[in-house]
Amino acid sequence: MSAVPASTVLHPVSKRRKRKDVIMRASLAAATALALVPLVLVLWYVAGRGIGAWSWHFFSTDPTGSFLGDPGGIRSAIVGTIMMVALATVISVPIGIGVALYLTEYGKESWFAKAVRYFVDVMTGVPSIVFGLFIYIVLILGGFGGGGYAGWKGSIALALLMLPVVTRSAEVVLLLVPQTLRESALALGSPRWRLIAKVVLPTALPGLVTGSLLAVARAAGETAPLLFTAAIVNGTSFNLGQRMNSLPVQIFTDVGQAQDRLVARAWGAALTLVILVLLLTLIARYMSRRSRLT
């Protein structure tokens, strides 16, 4: 770094201090390695035990509900997860981005915007099972739409969970859109809605997609809010108006039964779920890296 060796200006660092430095640096490195051990172990076991459960039969049949005979596969769980998460995305992404637009384009630092921002953060901290309870109370106890468990009710619970993630990440990205870009569009006489639609949103698009994908990944892995909103069902269920199966809930119930064949199915389903979630996360990361804003 410097042309003059440090020792010519300063006292040499004492042996004791040098030793402490090396020890501390080594232990920080060791702690980092330690932090990564569980990731490696989890992926190792899920891959090892999951792949053994995979077969054509595994992906092409539905759970039968049989404990002794053939337990069936996870087709309805995959379909249920995709359908419920898709509906949750359709609900939460426009609302989340809309709220973020309000915060960045209109509310800014007003007390109302600050309150909204604060409560969006509050929502981030709400445990997912509490969202499940809430939807149960409002949509099932309340007898809404038939009063039973249904896929779309699960979607709404997931949407509540995704909403704060989408909003906060969208706000961060929208704030990165250069202020000069906004100013030049307004100076050219563009109305604000056109500025938002033609300049702000397109510029921020990759970042918005990133945030939404991370929310999708999070929702896809959630079990708790689905337990008593969409429940679990054996056999085929491709209808959002009916009870619906999902990968996380399928894994949860199979673990609870602790029967060899059901446990094998749980590992297979876990591998499927992990691949799905990791793919979404990595795509999101890739997109955020390609975005010109960040």
16 binding another protein? (CB under 8 A)? no
CB of 103 to another protein, least distance (A): 7
Among 150, 158, 200, 251, binds another protein (CB under 8 A): 251
At 42, list the tokens: 């989890």
| Spatial separation of the C-alpha atoms in residues 187 and 153, rounded to whole Å | 46
For another protein, the closer CB: 31 or 56? 31
| Spatial separation of the C-alpha atoms in residues 173 and 167, rounded to whole Å | 10
Q: Point out which span in 51-59, 70-78, 186-194, 236-244 binds another protein (CB under 8 A).
A: 186-194
Residue ranges in 97-136 that form contacts with another protein under rule CB under 8 A = 98-99, 101-103, 105-109, 112-113, 115-116, 118-130, 133-134, 136
Q: Point out which span in 44-52, 53-61, 71-79, 236-244 binds another protein (CB under 8 A).
A: 44-52
| Spatial separation of the C-alpha atoms in residues 204 and 100, rounded to whole Å | 12
For another protein, the closer CB: 24 or 86? 24
CB of 153 to another protein, least distance (A): 14
For another protein, the closer CB: 237 or 291? 291
Residue ranges in 137-156 that form contacts with another protein under rule CB under 8 A = 137-138, 141
Among 41, 51, 86, 90, binds another protein (CB under 8 A): 41
DSSP track, 59-96: HHS-B---SSS--B-SHHHHHHHHHHHHHHHHHHHHHH
Cβ distance 156 to 91 under 8 Å? yes
The two counts, helices (H) then strands (E), for the chain are 13, 0
Picking from 271, 255, 253, 275, the residue whose alpha carbon sits closest to that of residue 263 is: 255
